[in-house]
Structure 1
Amino acid sequence: MLHHALGRWPEDLGFTVPVDWIRPEALQGDDDVNRRQFVSATAAALVTGPTASQHVDPALIDYFEQQLEGHYRADMFLGPHDLIGTVSAQYQLIDKLVRSAKGEVRRGLLRAGAAYAALVGWLYQDAGDLAAATFWRGVTQEIAVRSRDPHLIGYSLVNQAHVRTDLGDGRGVIDLCEAALDGTDGLFPKLRIMAMQQQAHGASLIGDRSAVDQLIDTAAGLLTRVDDDLPWGNACRRTPGYLEVQRATCYGRLGLGREAEALWAQVLDDVPSTARRDRGVYLARRATVAAASRQPDHAVEIARSAVEIALETRSARMLRELGSLERAMGPWHDAPVGRDLAEILAPVTEGS
């Protein structure tokens, strides 16, 4: 309404807007702008027509799988924006090679392609572009189905459930995770863990604490059985306290401040310095729990470190968590501690 009346956006008029503010023009604006955004996000997956036939050496499968592990590590350091172009370009190369490959080489490249598409989807999701993330999650499922790999098909469903979690659709999350877990006898333990922890997030979105604990406890019983050599979906191996991170996040969503605070304190002690982006997300969530538990000074103290990491990584997921913190600190908006928080958040608020 302000823009319609005055021709300027609220932040240009001096108003403070939420960190997750999206201008309406980004959703309903100029067709040419939207078209360019769509092409930019999807170009690597939408190469048309046949390509010139070429010999595809089986060693390329190992090459792409080794590169994938490097991309996962780089994501922990860099955040999404610096990697989207690189990983998308490699997916495009895999797609080109698939069109020439035959037999088991083709099947292996399809499996690699599904893993790369899943990573591109995650990078867009972490960057806050849920439309592009949803597109790439769909690409992941298509390639997984073409590969005939049941583990990858289950992985693609869990990836889609992750987007539904960010959209706040608890029942949609549960539907997708239950589909991934159908006939789980043959699925690797890692896939079952992934589906159960994501389903726990769905349960927390609909307020079902007992389901959260049951799912995470069951998943925890499978951790020692994870022994596959798949290059994708290894967060449960790489992330210290992986399942307790999920439990703490669910508890925070359920309003269980004391329980969530105890878990975050435990988890953050074990987070390595290399996992900087994850540490920032955890700190922001812990700060929000502290605010909800009426510990505003503690919340502000934690927020200082989270904002520093948010400025480095430009993770939209972290900005969203800081937005939740800002809302949780609403009762102290006019108090000195509230003004301190506003000053701390100013660099990311202005940058958003």
Structure 2
Amino acid sequence: MGRNDALRAARLRVGWRTMEKAAEKLTDHGRQLLDDRQFNVSARTWRRWEGALPGWPSEETALVIHDALGRWPEDLGFTTPPGWIRPEHHKEEEQVNRRTFVSVTAAALVAGPVASQYVDPALIDYFQQQLEGHYRADMLLGPHDLIGTVSAQYQLIDKLVRSAKGETRQGLLRVGAAYAALVGWLYQDAGDMHGAAFWRGVTQEIAVRSRDPHLIGYSLVNQAQVRTDLGDGAAVIDLCEAALEDSRRLVPKVRIMAMQQQAHGAGLTGDRRAVDRLLDEADGLLSRVDDDLPWGNACRRTPGYLEVQRATCYGRLGLGSQAASLWNQVLQIVPTSARRDRGVYLARHATAAAGAGNPDEALEIAQAAADIAIETRSARTTKELVTLQRMMRPWQDSLVGRDLDGVLAPVIERG
């Protein structure tokens, strides 16, 4: 049998005379570095690392190894996965991403007046039809290929708003808010919360300028979505309660959106009773959704819309078995064409299966989710898979744990 002499030499160089001592020292180092009491490297894992087939550690473990031994895993005999980029090189990529962000957000910050022009009211319908196409493309492509296109159309709408008058101007403001909301969502799905927050703010500003109560409520729900991804349950509840403050003025669709998002806030704060109450109340309004507003139609086009929210909330509440049962039902009716959403749902289903004590089922589901995450480059799916990896820690040294590391390595090696 061969062995990984590079890692062995590095271990001995820092004075860790045995593999058992190395596992203990790296665990202590990782817990201090990451401020995570759950971080653990077992002696069995270290023995595998020094063997002929060391595999590849998780992203956070790679960082701990580098900090403790002064070398990256690919320099210590580990099997480098395709696409691995050392964290020290991520700054260059981040700089590129920030330049893209600056370029795109310039669409929302055009200074001063523009040359006056006639604005045909028919343009409102044109942009609304384009918007529906963008929603469909988002489900099929994911965020990265659409951000530039949608933000450029927003820039054109903003230019037209500055010349339009009366009802045409109000109509363009309303459709412009919908475009800004979509750009915000694309940034959120891409994992750029700074970009998402910026565009959610643009959405709210335009909604207020339009004086449309439905759009203002929608913009508050958009803000709450960002807070949900940040794990700030109390802020989610505050924003949704503000949206519902005068719910009699709102069409059922907006009320449903606010209630389901508030349920996520309740899930984050551990209030299972509120989760069920809010989602049951929203369910009672679904049959009354009959508006022709071009935005916020997920409750119409997403199969099992509210059960998706319930399963997600149950997962956050630690109700693994109940969440897994719901995901089984939901995924039977989600079309395969909805790749991005299906990837997120599969990752959450895998986490629920792990929480219910079914690691083999979690591994099988995770494989399908990882394939979709690679295709769509959805940061939301990747984030859910990182959560799954944490949930699978009790099995990290078993065969199923090692298999999971192999499945997830191409997805989350870059964090």
Q: CA separation of 1:12/1:193 partners in 2, compared to 1, >3 Å: closer, same or farther? A: farther
Aligned equivalents of 1:31 and 1:328: distance in 2? Answer: 29
Cα offset, 1:49, TM superposition = 2.0
SS at match of 1:261: helix
Give 1:315's aligned residue: 378
Q: CA separation of 1:292/1:5 partners in 2, compared to 1, >3 Å: closer, same or farther? A: closer
> Larger relative contact order (C-alpha < 8 A, sep ≥ 6)?
1
Contact 1:41 1:132 in 2 (8 A): no
Q: Give the TM-score taking structure 1 as reference length.
A: 0.92
Q: 1:206 aligns with which of 269, 279, 295?
A: 269
Q: Tell me the C-alpha RMSD between the 2 structures.
A: 2.7
Matched, 1:331 2:402: no
Q: 2:354 aligns with which of 291, 297, 303?
A: 291
Contact 2:104 2:148 in 1 (8 A): no
Q: Name stretches of at least 5 consecutive residues in structure 1 with no aligned partner.
A: none
Q: 1:130 aligns with which of 175, 188, 193?
A: 193
Q: CA separation of 1:287/1:138 partners in 2, compared to 1, >3 Å: closer, same or farther? A: same
SS at match of 1:233: coil
Cα offset, 1:26, TM superposition = 7.4
Give 1:97's aligned residue: 160
Aligned equivalents of 1:130 and 1:245: distance in 2? Answer: 23
How many percent of aligned residue pairs carry the same amino acid? 75
Aligned equivalents of 2:154 and 2:339: distance in 1? Answer: 26
Aligned equivalents of 1:240 and 1:260: distance in 2? Answer: 17
Give 1:276's aligned residue: 339
Give 2:108's aligned residue: 45
SS at match of 2:361: helix
Query: What letter corresponds to residue 347 of structure 2 in structure 1?
Result: A
Q: 1:193 aligns with which of 234, 237, 256?
A: 256
Contact 2:87 2:414 in 1 (8 A): no
Q: Name stretches of at least 5 consecutive residues in structure 2 with no aligned partner.
A: 1-32, 34-62
Cα offset, 1:258, TM superposition = 1.4
Aligned equivalents of 1:165 and 1:147: distance in 2? Answer: 26
Matched, 1:172 2:235: yes
Cα offset, 1:257, TM superposition = 1.1
Contact 2:225 2:261 in 1 (8 A): yes
Cα offset, 1:34, TM superposition = 8.6
Matched, 1:85 2:148: yes
Detail structure 1 runs of 4+ shifted over 4 Å in the superposition: 1-16, 21-27, 29-35
Aligned equivalents of 1:273 and 1:251: distance in 2? Answer: 24
Q: Give the TM-score taking structure 2 as reference length.
A: 0.79
Aligned equivalents of 1:290 and 1:103: distance in 2? Answer: 55
Matched, 1:71 2:134: yes
Query: What letter corresponds to residue 238 of structure 2 in structure 1?
Result: D
Aligned equivalents of 2:186 and 2:75: distance in 1? Answer: 29
Matched, 1:241 2:304: yes
SS at match of 1:345: helix
Cα offset, 1:274, TM superposition = 1.8
Contact 1:114 1:144 in 2 (8 A): yes
Give 1:60's aligned residue: 123
Query: What letter corresponds to residue 151 of structure 2 in structure 1?
Result: S
Q: CA separation of 1:327/1:148 partners in 2, compared to 1, >3 Å: closer, same or farther? A: same
Q: CA separation of 1:202/1:55 partners in 2, compared to 1, >3 Å: closer, same or farther? A: same
Contact 1:197 1:215 in 2 (8 A): yes
Query: What letter corresponds to residue 193 of structure 1 in structure 2?
Result: I
Cα offset, 1:71, TM superposition = 0.3
